[in-house]
Each structure stands twice: as structure tokens, then as C-alpha cells.
């Protein structure tokens, strides 16, 4: 999808060079494309409007006007602006200086609160903390049972009083108990509630008052559409939440709600929940989310996923190879095989840089076909060529194309993208963040643009 | 008049003309209350106006505002463009007179038409009829099953067996058990971690043995991006089909009204795995409009059949395209 955006922008601004000047009309056209892309990603309509307005101003400035490739420049700016909006650095949970740290979890029905509570509990327990969970959802059938089960699995104590007691009282009692038992953390699970249900929002405010939490977290489902803003604003008013947990990020929802919530409430997204298992929980990375919203590759997550599949030692070997520039097309082929073993491609494909365009194709079979093609190209290479793709020129290219039933252009594209990806992986491995320009280059793929190649 | 329960279901050969008389006072009060509520809702539907000022004047701004309203309702850019362009063309071409009321009525028509694409009643003609519920985590499958069971019993006097085929999630069977009790339905379950297909099988066998009318199969919430879980779902379906040709007679996907554009992907992918017949649009009691179902009906031909409007047994209604169209743009 990023490829698409990048291509669309380039097409829109392609004749600028011949005219020699970028006009407001051109920038408007570019803003339309970006607006569409963000709306597709479920970013709130009003947030998109504001965003494209300030973006337009920047785009009418010298850095785009004087650029030799305005399309690419715009893409770079969009990524920068989005990343900035998404929050820059992540933030830590506020901790208590004496007595248990109280974390209150709130959100709509079905957002994933109970699972998130257990995951957060596990996350903290792994850091050596003693964690307790308070079961304050007395409405949803078997909610208490669910928390007891998953809380137990997370290694936390679960404080419950069944479904007959009042949630506010349960919360207060749980806090007393957590203090008495000298717990480090008390996580309070609450019932899902509509932001327009005044009785339940009052209840939430009361729970907050009684437990005086150090952190109030709003749990938001990544697939939430335009409604995210209204929900966040109401919860901000009633519960004054400090941060957000985004859930179900293992799906293929672009997650524009994350941007909307952050833009409108100013509250950071602290955690990302990425699966149903208890360990599928991580710190939220704003830059990765920005890429995802734009439809770009998320290489780090992919590497992490691959590492989970591959055993420890192999992972270390891989890391060494990448850092030492020894990562070859052969290695990539092996990694890809591992990746394909993992299961559903549509989720993972979105993570492979430069493969963004494939997500556009609705038929999952075609995604497989695309990867088959990549595999075929690599398999048509000699081991030397896989180890050192720089030697692939002229007749070698033609031979590989013929052998894999592809076009020379496609072979070129793979080699170029691989090169970019390798550079990026190397940077990330050594803790550097690739610049948005480099990301833009790589996802842009296609025709060579030597002027923009970094050393 | 809004779509009735009788219109929403095809009960086949069963005589369900008269719902059973509620025996007790409370039951009677309940019926009267529901009748009153449904009447006031239809009155409300008739007077529920699209945002008052929207069609006072018909100019460029009108189309922009309409576009904004539809996007904010999660209809998505492609469907929104289609609707707005069509209406604009009709007004400019003279097919619709450029006065507020005419344009508003035509818009409702267009939206209702779109949302009714592929519309058919829920097929419960099988004996027993098998209904399979699928969907992403947290969309309201289990609660909806409880509501459907209750309504089938109340409206049509049907006996229902529930299959707790979500064998993955902690306390899922307990949750469904609670609903079974509230709805007066029987529950078939297995141990946690058991085979979901086996539970479905047992439930159908039990329904046959007891002469029950309907089997509703609950499944674990799953993301459509998890290929292995989609395969598992396809397998459950095959188990059901092997046991009873033509079954499951109806497969419904629950879609949360707050879902954005991803809803379309969900419907598409689930449909590829198990042939979805319809959508239950849940959590419409919130502020989200559920406009994504316009895209689902329009682009995939999968209609909405039921809507969920709360967490209680009663909070379920047959989908009515016109009511939905009006609500889509109301304040």
C-alpha cells in the first residue's frame, strides 16, 4: 500500500519536472492521495483533515519545491510527520514509591481488557514484581472465571468476590488486600462499558477515586474505525486515562485509531498486544506504527517473529551475519522459508519491505504466487550470485530471469530491494533507526534512482 | 414498518404462526413492553431526521458534508464516493428535484438499497436447523447466540441446543452456559482444549435425539489473518456438513459496529473459509454507526440479518435497511 501511495504520488507529480515548478494544484492532488490512504487506514476524518492541512503547508515549502523527486520527498515528509505525531519516544508506566502500583484498565466491550490485564501482569511478573489482579467485572458472564484462569497462568494472584458484590467495593477491598500482602502491583480489570453509558462511566470514576491509580490505561482495539475519537474523548473526560493499550495488532487492521487517539487526546500509546498468548505483549513503537498506518514494511517485527521460530543459536548466527554484512540472498531464502512456515502470509507480507504492493491484491493466492516468484528468482541464482548480488549484471540477469520465468526488471527489483533491506536490517541490528528517507527509498523500489543512494 | 421477526427467519415446514402465550404476568408484561418499545422505535424511525441542515441548500458544500458524514460512519472512501456521486448525478441530471426533502428521501433509498444487497431471511428450515457463529475476537458472538436462542424460543416457541465449540478461550463454555440458562436452551460442551468439531457433532446428535429445532454453534474468536485458525474453522464446517448434508444451514459473522475498514477484510476472509450467509452487526447501542456493512453488502453481497443493541437478552432486532439508512446519518 505504501508502494501504491508512493507510486500514486509520483504519478500525480510526475510532470512537475518538465514544467519546472510545483504548483498548489499539484500539492492539492498529492494531499488527496494521502488523505485517501489515511482514511483507508481508519484515521479519523477530522484528524486527517488537520494533518493534511499542516502537511500541505510544509509541502509548499522549499524542500519539496526544489526537490528533484517531489513525490518521494512528500512521502518522506508524511512518514516524518506521522512518526512525530505518534509520539516520538515511548513512555514508561508510572510506578509507586510506596505501596503497590495501581493500574486501572478501562475500555469498550470486547476490546481485550481481560487478556491485556493478564499480559501486563505477566510482563511485570517477569521483571520480578509481585502482581495481583482485581476482578471488578461483575456483569459479563464468566468474566471472573476468565480472569482467575488467565491471571493464574500469568503468575499473578487474583482477588475476586464473585458477581454479587459492587465493583467499587471490590476494587477498594482488593487494594487493601494488595497492601496487606505487600504486592508490588495491583491491576484492576473492569467491565467493558460504553462511553455514553453515564451510570457505568460514573462507576469507573468512582473506582478511580477509591483506588487512586498510578496509571489508567484505555484499551483500544486496533480495528476500531472513526468512532475511536469519540470513545477516547469521553474516556479522557470521565477517567482521565494516562495511556493506551492497543490490542489485536496481530491482525491486518492498519490501526489508524492509534493516530486518532494520540492526536486528539495527546495520550501516548504505551503497549501493543499482538496475539492471544500471554507473551504477545510489547512496548509500543510509534515509528513502527506510523509505517504500518502508511502500509510500509515493519521489518523489526518480522525479524523478531522469525527469531521466535528459529532457535537461539541460529538467531545469533543470523544477527552476526547481518551485522557483518554477510547476510546473503541465500540466507534470505532460508529466512523466507521459515517465514512461510509461520502460517498466514497476509499478516507477515505486510511486514516485508517493498512487498507492500502485494497487500493490495485481495486474493491471498496471489500473495503466495508473489513469494513463489521471489523464491524462484533466488533459486535460479548460483550460490555465488546469492552471496554477492552485486555481480548480477547483463547476461546473469537474463539467465536468472529466463530460469525463473520472470522478467529482467523483476530480477533487478529483487536485488535492489534486498540490498536496501539488508542495509536497513544492519542499521536496526546495531540500534540505529533508518531515516524516513531511507525507508521511503526502500519501499519505493522499482526504478533505480542513483542520486538518492546513501553510502 | 420495520422488518419483523417473522420476516427475518425462514422456519421451513414448522408451524410457527402463533408464538406461545406467556404463562405468567411478568411474561405478559414483557411482551407488552416490547410491543410498546417497537412501536415507539418505528415512530422514531419515521421522524429520525438526517442531520437537519444537511439538505437545506443543495450546493457544493452539501456533497462535501454528505461525504464527511458517510466517512465518519465508517462507510469507507469507495462506497462513500459511489453514493455521493450517484446522488449528485441524479440531482444535477434532474432525476431528483433539488429540494431538501426529495434529496433526503432519495439518499435514504440509495443507502437502504445498498445495505439490502443480497438480502435473504435466516434459514432455519433444517431439522434440526444448524446455525454457525463466527467472527473476530470480542465482536459479541457468544452474547448474540444467547439472544438468538432466547428470541427463537419467545417468538416462535422453538427449542434450541447450544454448542460450546469455543474450546480455546478460558471460561468460554462457562460464559455460554450462563446464556443457555438465561435463554432456556440446552448446552453441549467438552473439556477445555477439546476438539471444536467434536462439540458441534455432539450437539447436532443431541438435537436429533431430543427432537430439538435449532442448534447454534459458538466458535472461538479468531483473527482472519491466522491461516491455521481459519483452516480449523473450515474443518468444523466440514464436520457439520458430513454429519448433516446442507448443514450448517446458516453461517453468521459478527461484526462490531465500531470496526473500521478492516471489517471488509474480515468478511472477505471468513467467507473464503466458511461461506458466510450474513452479518450480525453488534454494539449498535454505542455511537458507532456500523457503516462498514454498506461496503460489505455492496462489494461482497453479504447482507446484515440481525443487529445487536446491548448486553441483555432482549437487545437483538432483525435488520431493517431503511431504519439503518436513516440512523446512519442521524445526529
Q: Say if A95 falls within a structural domain.
A: no
Q: Which domain holds residue A271?
A: 101-294
Query: How many Å apart are CA A325 and CA B283, to the nearest integer?
Result: 52
Provide mean pLDDT across the span B293-321: 95
| B270 in A contact zone (CB under 8 Å) | no
From B291, B84, B224, select the one nearest A362 (Cα to Cα): B224
Residues A373 and A277 reside in one and the same domain: no
Q: Who wins on pLDDT, A54 or B199? A: B199
The phi and psi torsions of A332 (rounded to 5 degrees) equal -60, -40
Interface contact flag, B260 A251, Cβ < 8 Å? no
A58 and A152 in one domain?
A: no
CATH of the domain at A277: 3.40.50.300
Among the partner residues A141, A252, A347, nearest to B262 by beta-carbon distance: A252
DSSP state of B259: B
In a shared domain, residues A225 and A196: yes
Asked whether residue A91 is domain-assigned, the answer is no
Question: CB of B232 within 8 Å of any CB in chain A?
Answer: no
On whether any CB of chain A is under 8 Å from the CB of B138, the answer is yes
CA A272-A277-A278 angle, to 5 degrees, is 70
Domain co-membership, A338 together with A376? yes
Which of A294, A314, A331 is at the close of a domain? A294
End-to-end CA distance of chain B: 22
Q: What pLDDT shows up at residue B45?
A: 40
A23: left (phi over 0), alpha (psi -120 to 50) or beta: beta
Nearest CA to A56 out of A80, A31, A33 is that of A31
Residue that finishes a domain, picked among A294, A311, A341: A294
For residue A92, tell me if it sits in a domain: no
Would you state the cell numbers that stand for residue A22, as one nine-digit string? 510545483
Q: How many domains does chain A have?
A: 3
Bridge partners (DSSP) listed for residue A44: none
- As to burial, measured by CB atoms within 10 angstroms (0-12 exposed, 13-18 middle, 19+ buried), residue B62 is buried
The enclosing domain of A372 has a CATH number of 1.10.260.30
Do A178 and A263 lie in one domain? The reply is yes
Complex prediction ipTM: 0.87
Assess if residue A90 is contained within a domain.
no
Which helix H or strand E contains B235, and what residues bound it?
helix B227-243
User: Of A26, A57, A85, at which residue does a domain stop?
Assistant: A85
Instruction: Identify whether A96 is part of a domain.
Output: no
- Structural domains in chain B, sorted by start: 123-320 (3.40.50.300)
Distance CA A190, CA A180 (A): 22
A6 by DSSP, 3-state: which? helix
Taking the C-alpha atoms of residue A234 and residue A198, their distance in angstroms, rounded to an integer, is 10
Same domain, A70 and A209: no
Residue among B169, B178, B225, B265 with most chain A CBs within 10 A, to mutate: B225
CB–CB of A112 and B226 under 8 A?
A: no
Edge-to-edge strand list for the sheet holding B316-318: B186-188, B160-165, B214-219, B129-135, B250-256, B278-282, B304-308, B316-318
Cis-peptide, bond into residue B248, ω within 30° of zero: yes
Whether A255 and A114 share a structural domain: yes
pTM as predicted: 0.76
Tell if the CB–CB gap between A343 and B169 is shorter than 8 Å: no
Contacts of A250 (CB under 8 A, 6+ apart): A274, A275, A280, A347, B223, B225, B226
Q: What angle do CA B243, B202, B179 make, to 5 degrees?
A: 125
Q: Is B283 on the interface with A (CB under 8 A)?
A: yes
C-alpha cell at A311: 532457535
Residue A46 forms part of a structural domain: yes
SS3 content of chain B, % helix, strand, coil (to 5): 50, 15, 35
Q: Which residue from A minimizes the CA distance to B262?
A: A253
Give B20's pLDDT tier (boundaries 50, 70, 90).
Answer: low
Sheet with A281-283: strands ordered across: A157-159, A131-136, A185-190, A101-107, A215-221, A243-247, A269-273, A281-283
Q: Do A168 and A225 share a domain, yes or no?
A: yes
Residues 146-185 of B with CB under 8 A from A: 168-172, 174-175, 177-179
CATH number at residue A45: 1.20.120.140
Tell me whether residues B261 and A110 touch, CB distance under 8 A. Answer: no
Q: If you search the block for the grid coordinates 504486592, which residue do you land on?
A: A183
Does any domain span residue A348? yes
* One domain, residues A78 and A159: no
User: Which residues of A are less than 8 Å from B138 in CB distance?
Assistant: 109-112, 221, 248
**Summary mean pLDDT of chain B:** 89
Among residues A250, A198, A200, the alpha carbon closest in space to that of A221 is found at A250
* Interchain pair B287, A110: CB under 8 A: no
Residue A413, all three cell numbers: 527489483
- Do A289 and A304 share a structural domain? no
Helices (H), A274-328: 286-294, 299-309, 312-323
Q: Read off the pLDDT of residues A405-438 as tens digits, 9 standing for 90 and up.
A: 888 888 888 888 777 777 766 666 565 555 555 5
Query: Which residue in A140, A141, A225 is closest to B258 by CB distance?
Result: A225
Rounded CA Rg of chain B: 21
pLDDT per position as a tens digit, A102-161: 999 999 999 999 999 999 999 999 999 999 999 999 999 999 999 999 999 999 999 999
* Whether A242 and A371 share a structural domain: no
| Same domain flag for A170 and A231 | yes
End-to-end CA gap in chain A: 27
Give the three-class secondary structure for A303. Answer: helix
Please say whether the beta carbons of B152 and B269 come within 8 A: no
Residues of chain A whose pLDDT is less than 70?
Answer: 1-22, 65-69, 88-90, 295-316, 318-319, 323, 325, 335, 337-369, 424-455
With respect to residue A380, please indicate whether it lies within any of the assigned structural domains: yes
Amino acid at each position: 500500500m505504501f508502494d501504491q501511495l508512493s507510486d500514486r504520488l509520483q504519478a500525480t507529480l510526475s510532470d512537475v519536472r518538465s514544467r519546472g515548478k510545483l504548483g498548489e494544484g499539484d500539492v492539492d492532488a498529492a494531499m488527496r492521495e494521502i488523505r485517501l490512504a489515511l482514511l483507508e487506514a481508519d484515521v479519523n476524518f477530522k484528524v486527517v483533515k488537520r494533518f493534511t492541512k499542516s502537511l500541505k503547508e510544509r509541502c509548499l515549502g522549499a524542500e519539496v519545491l526544489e526537490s528533484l523527486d517531489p513525490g518521494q520527498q512528500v512521502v518522506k515528509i508524511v512518514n516524518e510527520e506521522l512518526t512525530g505525531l505518534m509520539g516520538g519516544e515511548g513512555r514508561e508506566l508510572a510506578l509507586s514509591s510506596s505501596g503497590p502500583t495501581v493500574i486501572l484498565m478501562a475500555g469498550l466491550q470486547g476490546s481485550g481488557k481481560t487478556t491485556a490485564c493478564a499480559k501486563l501482569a505477566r510482563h511485570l511478573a517477569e521483571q520480578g514484581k509481585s502482581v495481583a489482579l482485581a476482578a471488578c467485572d461483575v456483569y459479563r458472564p464468566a468474566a471472573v472465571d476468565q480472569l482467575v484462569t488467565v491471571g493464574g497462568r500469568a503468575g499473578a494472584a487474583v482477588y475476586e468476590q464473585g458477581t454479587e458484590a459492587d465493583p467499587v467495593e471490590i476494587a477498594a477491598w482488593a487494594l487493601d488486600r494488595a497492601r496487606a500482602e505487600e504486592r508490588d502491583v495491583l491491576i484492576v480489570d473492569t467491565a467493558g462499558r460504553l462511553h455514553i453509558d453515564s451510570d457505568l462511566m460514573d462507576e469507573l470514576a468512582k473506582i478511580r477515586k477509591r483506588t487512586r491509580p498510578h496509571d489508567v490505561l484505555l484499551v483500544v482495539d486496533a480495528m476500531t474505525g472513526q468512532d475511536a475519537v469519540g470513545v477516547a474523548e469521553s474516556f479522557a473526560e470521565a477517567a482521565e486515562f494516562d495511556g493506551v493499550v492497543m490490542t489485536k495488532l496481530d491482525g491486518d487492521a492498519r490501526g489508524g485509531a492509534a493516530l486518532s487517539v494520540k492526536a486528539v487526546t495527546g495520550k501516548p500509546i504505551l503497549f501493543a498486544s499482538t496475539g492471544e498468548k500471554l507473551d504477545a505483549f510489547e512496548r509500543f513503537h510509534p515509528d513502527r506504527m506510523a509505517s504500518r498506518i502508511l502500509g510500509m514494511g515493519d521489518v523489526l517485527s518480522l525479524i523478531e517473529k522469525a527469531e521466535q521460530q528459529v532457535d537461539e543459536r541460529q538467531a545469533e548466527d543470523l544477527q552476526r551475519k547481518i551485522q557483518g554484512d554477510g547476510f546473503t540472498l541465500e540466507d534470505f531464502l532460508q529466512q523466507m522459508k521459515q517465514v512461510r512456515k509461520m502460517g498466514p502470509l497476509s499478516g507477515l507480507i505486510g511486514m516485508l519491505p517493498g512487498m507492500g504492493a502485494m497487500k493490495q491484491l485481495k486474493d491471498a493466492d496471489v500473495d503466495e504466487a508473489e513469494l513463489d516468484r521471489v523464491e524462484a528468482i533466488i533459486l535460479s541464482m548460483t550460490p555465488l550470485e546469492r552471496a554477492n548480488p552485486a555481480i548480477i549484471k547483463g547476461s546473469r540477469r537474463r539467465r536468472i530471469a529466463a530460469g525463473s520465468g520472470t522478467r529482467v526488471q523483476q530480477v533487478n527489483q529483487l536485488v535492489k530491494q534486498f540490498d536496501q533491506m539488508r542495509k536497513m536490517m544492519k542499521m536496526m541490528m546495531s540500534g540505529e533507526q533508518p531515516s524516513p528517507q531511507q525507508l521511503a527509498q526502500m519501499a519505493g523500489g522499482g526504478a533505480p534512482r542513483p542520486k538518492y543512494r546513501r553510502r | 414498518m420495520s422488518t419483523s421477526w417473522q420476516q427475518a427467519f425462514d422456519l421451513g415446514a414448522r408451524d410457527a404462526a402463533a408464538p406461545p402465550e406467556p404463562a405468567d404476568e411478568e411474561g405478559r408484561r414483557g411482551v407488552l413492553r416490547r410491543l410498546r418499545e417497537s412501536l415507539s422505535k418505528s415512530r422514531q424511525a419515521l421522524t429520525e431526521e438526517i442531520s437537519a441542515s444537511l439538505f437545506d441548500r443543495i450546493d457544493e458544500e452539501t456533497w462535501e458534508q454528505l461525504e464527511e458524514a458517510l466517512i465518519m460512519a465508517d462507510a469507507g472512501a469507495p462506497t462513500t464516493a459511489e453514493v455521493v456521486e450517484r446522488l449528485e448525478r441524479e440531482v444535477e441530471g434532474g432525476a431528483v428535484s433539488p429540494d431538501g426533502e426529495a434529496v433526503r428521501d432519495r439518499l435514504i433509498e440509495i443507502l437502504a438499497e445498498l445495505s439490502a444487497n443480497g438480502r435473504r431471511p435466516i434459514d432455519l428450515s433444517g431439522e434440526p436447523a444448524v446455525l454457525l457463529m463466527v467472527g473476530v475476537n470480542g465482536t459479541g458472538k457468544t452474547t448474540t447466540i444467547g439472544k438468538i436462542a432466547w428470541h427463537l424460543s419467545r417468538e416462535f416457541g422453538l427449542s434450541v441446543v447450544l454448542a460450546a465449540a469455543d474450546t480455546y478461550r478460558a471460561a468460554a463454555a462457562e460464559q455460554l452456559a450462563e446464556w443457555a440458562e438465561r435463554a432456556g436452551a440446552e448446552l453441549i460442551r467438552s473439556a477445555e482444549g477439546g476438539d471444536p468439531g467434536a462439540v458441534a457433532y455432539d450437539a447436532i446428535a443431541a438435537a436429533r435425539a431430543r427432537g430439538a429445532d435449532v442448534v447454534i454453534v459458538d466458535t472461538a474468536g479468531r483473527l482472519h489473518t491466522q491461516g491455521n485458525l481459519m483452516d480449523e474453522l473450515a474443518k468444523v464446517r466440514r464436520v457439520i456438513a458430513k454429519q448433516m448434508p446442507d448443514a450448517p444451514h446458516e453461517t453468521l459473522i459478527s461484526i462490531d459496529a465500531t470496526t473500521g475498514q478492516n471489517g471488509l477484510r474480515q468478511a472477505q476472509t471468513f467467507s473464503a473459509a466458511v461461506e458466510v450467509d450474513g452479518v450480525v452487526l453488534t454494539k449498535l447501542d454505542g455511537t458507532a454507526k456500523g457503516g462498514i456493512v454498506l461496503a460489505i453488502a455492496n462489494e461482497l453481497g453479504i447482507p446484515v440479518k440481525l443487529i445487536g443493541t446491548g448486553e441483555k437478552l432482549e437487545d437483538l432486532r432483525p435488520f431493517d435497511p431503511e431504519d439503518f439508512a436513516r440512523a446512519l446519518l442521524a445526529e
